[in-house]
Structure 1
Amino acid sequence: MLFHPDERMALFIDGANLYSAARSLGFDIDYKRLLDLFAGKGRLIRAFYYTALLEDQEYSPIRPLVDWLDYNGYTLVTKPAKEFTDSAGRRKVKGNMDIELAVDMMEMVDRVDHVVLFSGDGDFRSLIEAVQRKGVRASVVSSIRTQPPMIADELRRQADQFIELDQLAAQIERVHSDRGPRRERPGAPPSAPVEADDDLDEDYVDDEYEDDEPPAVVRRTPPPRR
């Protein structure tokens, strides 16, 4: 990875897309380790995390993760997800956050030197191109090692730097005490097909973070609410 220690940097994480990529590669993400990794590569100004939530549920399984991120260095951007049943009778949850991510990135572009997008969605190609025209470097974190690849070819070509998520696994993997790191587990799951990332997967759930976990290096300074 090519980063300059004096450049101002912002992370933009498409939560559902990143979760799908990591799951298909066979590991869970430790978001504290992820934040620490990139905070050590430059002047991390902000780390945005985007996700849609089912507000009508009494308990959302992703809520513990969202709350932990909100207290530990991330700027959370959420909106209500829409639940529907498709023609095959399958329950689907739709929660596209592309517009929110694009607006925030363009608002930040004059305050940073480098943006890092965690998504493989080809719809972001034009956004990355617009950021580059402002003189800002743009890196994309996703995977070509899933089947099919999570990253769209046009987005990978547009980025100044493509970072393979699988190569970051050893540095950002969440190690479960009962099973150890992925690479030490026999018969680690192979890459699996991933559906389009417009729909939130019903299994888009992260294990609950404990309240006494140490805070991340960068503390959140909330921007003014719009």
Structure 2
Amino acid sequence: MAFRPSRLAIFIDGNNMFYAQQKNGWFFDPRRVLNYFANRPEIELVNAYWYTGLKDPQDQRGFRDALVSLGYTVRTKMLKEFHDESNGNRYFQRANLDIEIVIDMFNTVEQYDEIVLFSGDGDFERAIELLRAKKTHITVVSTDGMIARELRNATDRYIDLNDIRSFIEKTERPEPFVSAPVIAPA
């Protein structure tokens, strides 16, 4: 019987991770994330998704283009502004992409054996439970203080960002790919 690598999909909740990275005081490099999780002979990267909210259609254009050139599928949604009178009449913006992430997870479930979800949002608990029932191995990456207990308990494996910092942290000079991850055709 021929060896078949485990098929991997990566889902990154960009807005959630932005705040986790701010909390930690360092940022990860999307290229190094792919290298860390997919650059092993027993892994076949089938897709990597990045979800982010935008202030306007041109917001983060350079960053989004760079993600696409690295092989990410980028999903966006316009930020919505909310007014909070209970908090001193402050405005805040939000683009909740949880539904888009779950839709992509379930629309592509036959393409992968395991996923890595970068998010600490407890709203993913039920989706993770259903995916595990389909024998999908789930790894959640977040950081202490930003990971919902329910999500952490629902996953097969939890990785704190700080535990893999030396492998994924953004550095001053760009790091070359050890070998470019191959996104398998659907």
> TM-score, structure 2 length as denominator?
0.86
Q: Which amino acid letter does the alignment assign opposite residue 106 of structure 2? A: M
Q: Which amino acid letter does the alignment assign opposite residue 168 of structure 2? A: I
Q: Is the 8 A contact 1:72 1:219 kept in 2?
A: no
Q: How far has the Cα of 1:84 moved from its partner? A: 3.4
Q: CA 1:33–1:101 in structure 2 vs 1: closer, same or farther (change >3 Å)? A: same
Aligned residue in 2 for 1:196: none
Give the unaligned 5+ runs of structure 1.
178-208
Which among 214, 217, 221 is matched to residue 180 of structure 2?
217
CA distance in 1, matches of 2:17, 2:170: 14
| Residue aligned with 1:110, SS | helix
Q: Is the 8 A contact 2:46 2:183 kept in 1?
A: no
Pair 1:158-2:121 in alignment: no
CA distance in 2, matches of 1:9, 1:176: 29
Aligned residue in 2 for 1:203: none
Map 1:1-226 to 2 at 5 A: 6-41=5-40, 42-55=43-56, 60=59, 62-87=60-85, 88-144=88-144, 149-176=145-172, 217-218=180-181
Residue deviations 1:111-166 (CA, integer Å, cap 9, x gap):
1110111000001000000101111111100112xxxx110111101100011111
Residue deviations 1:73-94 (CA, integer Å, cap 9, x gap):
1000112111233212323111
Q: Which amino acid letter does the alignment assign opposite residue 161 of structure 1? A: R
Residue deviations 1:19-65 (CA, integer Å, cap 9, x gap):
11122111111111111111114111100000111226xx53x3321
Q: Is the 8 A contact 1:140 1:162 kept in 2?
A: yes
CA distance in 2, matches of 1:21, 1:121: 11
> TM-score, structure 1 length as denominator?
0.72
Q: Which has the higher helix share?
A: 2
Aligned residue in 2 for 1:201: none
Aligned-pair identity in percent equals: 39
Give the unaligned 5+ runs of structure 2.
none
CA distance in 2, matches of 1:159, 1:46: 20
CA distance in 1, matches of 2:90, 2:176: 40
How many positions carry a matched residue from both structures? Answer: 178
**C-alpha root-mean-square deviation of aligned residues, in Å?**
2.3
Q: CA 1:89–1:67 in structure 2 vs 1: closer, same or farther (change >3 Å)? A: farther
| Residue aligned with 1:47, SS | strand
Q: Is the 8 A contact 1:74 1:219 kept in 2?
A: no
